[in-house]
Amino acid sequence: MIEQTENIAVEIHDLSVSYDRKPVLWGIDLTIPEGALVGIVGPNGAGKSTLIKSIMGLIPLNSGYARIFGKDLSEIRERLSYVPQRESVDWDFPTSVKEVVLMGRYKKIGLFKRPRKADLDATMSALESVGMQDFASRQISQLSGGQQQRVFLARALAQQADLYFMDEPFAGVDAATEKAIFNILLEMSQQGKTVVVVHHDLQSVKKYFDWLILLNLRLVASGKTENIFKKELLEEAYGGKLTLLTEVGDLIKKEEFPGREE
């Protein structure tokens, strides 16, 4: 089931990607509405990270295209931001929290100019909104996993973009950080920003996202969460994985008797 939308933030048409001639994404066709909080869900190796990377032009496409706000990627790069997986960088790198967040301003500053006051202000206010202002001059190696994730989020916030892609921002963070991050995402989407999140945990899908993309090499379903988070569709996405299937069954049960939860 593929639901289309009117005011489009991202439009993907016939997108296919392969590594070493092995297809990782196959004929993806979908639209993402502006201002939505979008979850991309699917089993391991389903191509979730690959999908957001290919939208951002980080991976060569075999076919198809992605258009953002109706324009080609090269025209709107400034309006797009990315929160990579936490493990993708070396956290022992000799640099401070503030310097990492300031990177979010580099596109605006330019590589050969000094940051202005506006850039430093944006950096500090991004740190404040993730509650990390007191850590500004810390070396990044002294941070916990949750704090590292907050720093990455702050860097994306400092960019003041309109469309955000986040690769598993909830992976390996403590409950308090997860809640804090979710509140920030919610606030962003209320401000009309579009936030696309690669997500792992089926338990929280319904609570977190208003738009859902189910992926398993090909597009299983895409649309409003209430229409997509259904047993048949989840089984189709996670098909063949028995343990997961029972998990899905449990989830659906919980959903049918919501009174027992919380």
225 lies in the binding site for another protein (CB under 8 A) = no
Among residues 8, 106, 131, 186, which is the contact residue for another protein, using CB under 8 A?
106
Among residues 103, 120, 124, 171, which is the contact residue for another protein, using CB under 8 A?
103
d(CA 250, CA 19): 35
60 lies in the binding site for another protein (CB under 8 A) = no
d(CA 221, CA 40): 10
136 lies in the binding site for another protein (CB under 8 A) = no
Among residues 111, 175, 256, 259, which is the contact residue for another protein, using CB under 8 A?
111
79 lies in the binding site for another protein (CB under 8 A) = no
d(CA 207, CA 15): 29
- Nearest residue (CB) to another protein, 77 versus 230: 77
- Nearest residue (CB) to another protein, 155 versus 199: 155
Question: Encoding tokens for residue 157?
Answer: 């916030």
- Nearest residue (CB) to another protein, 38 versus 83: 83
Among residues 45, 63, 71, 78, which is the contact residue for another protein, using CB under 8 A?
78
> Which of 98-106, 223-231, 241-249, 252-260 is the region at the interface with another protein (rule: CB under 8 A)?
98-106
- Nearest residue (CB) to another protein, 151 versus 220: 151
- Nearest residue (CB) to another protein, 195 versus 205: 195
134 lies in the binding site for another protein (CB under 8 A) = no
88 lies in the binding site for another protein (CB under 8 A) = yes
CB 61 within 8 A of CB 15: yes
d(CA 37, CA 33): 9
Footprint of another protein on residues 1-20 (CB under 8 A)? none
Q: Least separation, in Å, of the C-beta of 56 and another protein?
A: 5
Task: Summarize as ranges the residues that interact with another protein (CB under 8 A).
Answer: 56-58, 74, 77-78, 80-82, 84, 88-90, 93-96, 99-100, 103, 106-107, 111-112, 139, 155, 159
